Amino acid sequence: MEGYLTIGEISKFTGVPISTLRYYDSEGIISPIYKDTKSNYRYYSEMQIPVLRIIYYLKRLGFSNDSIKSHLKTLNYSHTLDLISQLIYDTKQEIKKLQKLHKELVKNGEQIKNLISIEKKINSFFIEESEKIKAIYVTIAESNDEEKFIRAAFKKLSLYTLNTEKELLPIGICALTIPQENIENKSYKENKLLYMKDIKELTEKITLPKRKYACVYCKGSLLNKKENIDKLLAWIEDNKLTKSEGDILLHFLAGPGFIKNPKEIMYIIKVPIE
């Protein structure tokens, strides 16, 4: 085929890989001038070199196969400008998505750094001052099967917040409350599961006042919470702090999906103090 270029030669001249040339052919973007049906060799014309370079450039810019075919079919400046304008719009939308994704990744990265730091402080005691928080809640039924009813409360809460919570690690967004009388009678049973955001459509709401808490970081099963609460109460007494009226909070930090043992969680126990 004197005067024509083999697929290897045109690949060399244009920088377009042979596999890509075959792909362009299969997609109907640009085909060889001639195909030998016996040998299946593909032959191109020198006049196709600038066209291939344009195609390769447009692909690099993000043009779709259909847009490239439309450009080559029409070869009209206005039409091509319309294609470019649409691509500019699509690119701006993609940039917005990527910026949002970047923001979420940075936030989640910071949250994970925070969890790594907290994990090193398990069983550490500290004092925290919390701002006033509005929350919704699900009541936990009285039962000897504590875990069963906590799971039921989480299921109900998940239905409430299905379209609300979008974060990967909503640290501190959920908490259990143990009323003061359940500490005094040594039952340590929870009575509410809180979601620390206000959802207007729901009526079961509670406001946690601005106050100080004595706290301890914990990791393990909630079944061991009594031991951790007793340690915190002893620490309060040893440090001559005074408990104040109010529920004890068990704030969740991390659980399944971020802790290998599915029965373990990281949480903070918070006892209100004066």
Q: How far apart are CA 149 and CA 136, in angstroms?
A: 17
Question: Residue 1: its pLDDT value, please?
Answer: 62
Pair 162, 209: CB distance under 8 Å: no
Q: Is the pLDDT of residue 23 over 90?
A: yes
How many residues make up the chain in this entry? 274
Per-residue b/e over 26-38, b at no fewer than 16 CB within 10 Å?
A: eeebbebeeeeee
Report the pLDDT averaged over residues 212-221: 94
Mean pLDDT of the chain: 87
**Secondary structure (3-state) at 272:** strand
Enumerate residues 6+ apart whose C-beta is below 8 A from 270.
128, 130, 213, 214, 215, 248, 249, 250, 251
Question: Residue 146: its pLDDT value, please?
Answer: 63
Q: Is the pLDDT of residue 200 over 80?
A: no
Q: Is the pLDDT of residue 64 over 90?
A: yes
Q: Is the pLDDT of residue 161 over 80?
A: no
If pLDDT is split at 50, 70 and 90, which confidence band does 9 have?
A: very high
- The stretches of 126-260 forming alpha helices (DSSP H) are 146-160, 180-184, 225-238
If pLDDT is split at 50, 70 and 90, which confidence band does 165 have?
A: low
Question: Residue 212: its pLDDT value, please?
Answer: 95
Report the pLDDT averaged over residues 72-96: 93
Report the pLDDT averaged over residues 152-168: 65
If pLDDT is split at 50, 70 and 90, which confidence band does 5 have?
A: very high
Pair 205, 134: CB distance under 8 Å: yes
Report the pLDDT averaged over residues 67-87: 92
Report the pLDDT averaged over residues 130-153: 76
**Secondary structure (3-state) at 208:** strand
Helices (H) and strands (E) in the chain, counts: 8, 11
Q: Is the pLDDT of residue 101 over 70?
A: yes
- Name the CATH superfamily for 121-273: Regulatory factor, effector binding domain (3.20.80.10)
Enumerate residues 6+ apart whose C-beta is below 8 A from 34.
1, 4, 42, 43
CATH 1.10.1660.10 applies to domain 5-75:
yes
